[in-house]
Structure 1
Amino acid sequence: MMTSAAVYGGWVFPQISTRLCTRCAIFARPNGVSFRHRKRFFLTTNCVSDMAVTIASDHSYGNKEVISVTPHIYDYLLTNVREPPILRELREETASMRGSQMQVSPDQAQLLAMLVQILGAKRCIEVGVYTGYSSLAVALVLPESGVLVACERDKNSLEVAKRYYDRAGVSHKVDARHGLAADTLNSMIENGEGCSYDFAFVDAEKRMYQDYFELLLQLVRVGGLIVIDNVLWHGRVADPLVIDKKTESIRSFNKALVDDERVSISMVPIGDGMTICRKR
């Protein structure tokens, strides 16, 4: 049995035993398989040093091997992330603040920035800014004529983000909006900005995910991307015994996305789980 805790995306997970953490279990499941069928799905974990490799014993899953993210592996991952100095400074300052676990991890931010670059995005939206790590990562790769509408309800957090936008020289690309994100998105739709955005990232109130998604579908163009964070919710979504409102909301949202023909989707186990939706 491993005695260390797994740290990933700013969250600390309990020690990993031979039962494996639910984060990795969901990675091994195909879309549409009910978690209530978990008795038919067996996992075994082999520990080598401080690394755990889990194998799905059900042959219908192809004996899939999944690496559990341990502190050793996560440290290695971070050493292979290209993190600009300004982002590292923001991450380190945020680490001392209340709610620092809300900040996305460097590997997540790197993925978001790459998606924006691949898409050739010029107009972006972020719902839930906190201190601005992810929005700064996106703004840094936007063209000079690009714009990122950054929605945040906490004024103090937004002030930190704006300070770093200034320091990074990207303030002219960021339209920081203080207030409820739903109000901001509705006003953008009313202002005739529908289908004019290329990319959106959501990391805000979990019980509002479906509402944010519906609003963003009106604002993002066909072929554009909507990325939603925390869809694995620390593994709680995979545990049928967890029935708090936030967890239930994310479960319902994930299920709705699987059935939503308006988008193509890919759920990836990075950070606390992210789903990438491409509008059809």
Structure 2
Amino acid sequence: MQDYMYDPAYRHLLKAKEIAQKENVIPELQTEINRSIELFQQKINYCDDQTIPPSPALHSLITDTLAYPWSDAYKEGRVSYSVDTAMLSGNSEAQLIKSITSASKARMVLEIGLFTGCASLAMAEALPAEGKVVALELDQGIADVARSFLDKSPAGNKIEIITGPAIESLEKLAEKKTKFDVIFMDANKEGYVPYYKMIFEKDLLASGGTLIVDNVLKNGDTYSGEHSDSKSWAITNFNELVLQDNRVHKVMLPLRDGVYIIRRKEDTDASVPEKKGDLNYIK
């Protein structure tokens, strides 16, 4: 899916274009509608052109993901669900995540929702030699495909894949007292609220750490009110939870399908005293 297609305004413009053509409205109005549609596309293309291109390894992973016969894999039972390649983070978002990872001087990184490893590889490329990405993936078949892609890359050896339900994997990581400098959440949307609560209640995010959450606009459903499914409502509820959580500093970016950048307030505001132990996040 092209990034501009996430925007409901773009989809409504397409509908307006169709109506204008059927009703034979004045040419000037049709011209303005067409120009507005073009500008949606041109803005995304311009931003992409101004963003550093992916490394050869990341480019290869993205290309391999798009070319992989996912429908055959699903029909043959090698993966447990029908894959949409729009699940791929894409270069612009991968470079944002890579920048945050680099600026954080991160050594331990967590991705909740691996898919084929686009974001994990981008973060791994920013880590020092001894750095590590722990990537959680529900489906063993998809994890196997991701592993085959990642093993082709110079930084792939920094990535450990854990398969199974993410909430169980997070519990095990918490039991080991594992802490992460950066956490990227891009898994099943109904799991966002419990994942968020566990991250903070179990202290999985290291002091000074950053939580990055994907798909927080959910095709525009969260602000248009045009909720299309339970996933849209799950994201809306998650966003409200974060908004009401006065312990965190947050900024939402309209990049692709929406990205939330979340940090503890004591890490962003010098006037907030550092908190120890249970942060009493919203239950």
Shift of the alpha carbon at 1:165? 2.3
**Aligned residue runs from structure 1 range 259-278, under 5 A:** 259-278=244-263
- Give the whole-Å Cα distance in 2 for the aligned partners of 1:156 and 1:10: 29
Residue 48 of structure 2: which of 67, 78, 87 is its match? 78
Question: What does 1:188-199 align with in structure 2 at a 5 Å threshold?
Answer: 188-193=173-178, 196-199=179-182
Contact 1:10–1:104 (CA<8 Å) still a contact in 2? no
1:50–1:92 CA distance, 2 compared to 1 (3 A)? farther
Q: Note the alpha carbon deviations across 1:150-196, whole angstroms, 9 max, x for none.
A: 00012222222212322112233111101111111100111222xx2
**Aligned equivalents of 1:69, 1:254: Cα separation in 2:** 29
> Who is 1:95 aligned against?
66
Please tell me whether residue 236 in structure 1 is matched to residue 226 in structure 2.
no
Q: How does 1:119-268 map to 2 (within 5 A)?
A: 119-193=104-178, 196-217=179-200, 218-242=203-227, 244-268=229-253
The structure with the greater share of residues assigned to strand is 1
Of 89-98 and 245-254, the range deviating more from structure 2: 89-98
- Preserved contact between residue 10 and residue 101 of structure 1 (Cα < 8 Å): no
> Conserved in 2, the CA contact under 8 Å of 1:151 and 1:179?
yes
Distance 1:51 1:105, change over 3 A: farther
**For 1:9-52, what per-residue CA distance to the aligned partner results, in whole angstroms no more than 9, with x for missing partners?**
785865452999xxxxxxxxxxxxxxxxxxxxxxxxx9597456
| Structure 2 Cα separation of the partners of residues 10 and 111 of structure 1 | 20
State which structure, 1 or 2, has the greater radius of gyration over its C-alpha atoms: 2
- What is the Cα deviation at residue 91 of structure 1? 1.2
Displacement of 1:77: 2.4
Provide closer, same or farther for how the CA distance between residues 225 and 100 of structure 1 changes in structure 2, counting only shifts above 3 A: same
Q: Which residues of structure 1 form unaligned runs of 5+?
A: 1-5, 21-45, 53-67
Structure number with higher helix proportion: 2
Q: Under a length normalisation based on structure 2, what TM-score does the superposition of the two structures give?
A: 0.75
Comparing 78-87 and 149-158, the one that deviates more: 78-87
Deviation digits for residues 199-222 of structure 1 (CA, Å, limit 9, x no counterpart): 100001101101111122220122
Show structure 1 runs of 4+ deviating over 3 A: 9-16, 46-52
Contact 2:186 2:213 in 1 (8 A): yes
CA 15–71 in structure 1, closer or farther in 2 if over 3 Å, else same:
same
Matched residue type, 2:63: E
User: Is there any run of 5+ residues in structure 2 with no aligned partner, and where?
Assistant: 17-30, 71-82, 266-283
In 2: Cα distance, 1:215 partner to 1:181 partner: 11
Identity %: 27
Distance 1:253 1:12, change over 3 A: closer
The Cα RMSD (Å) is: 2.6
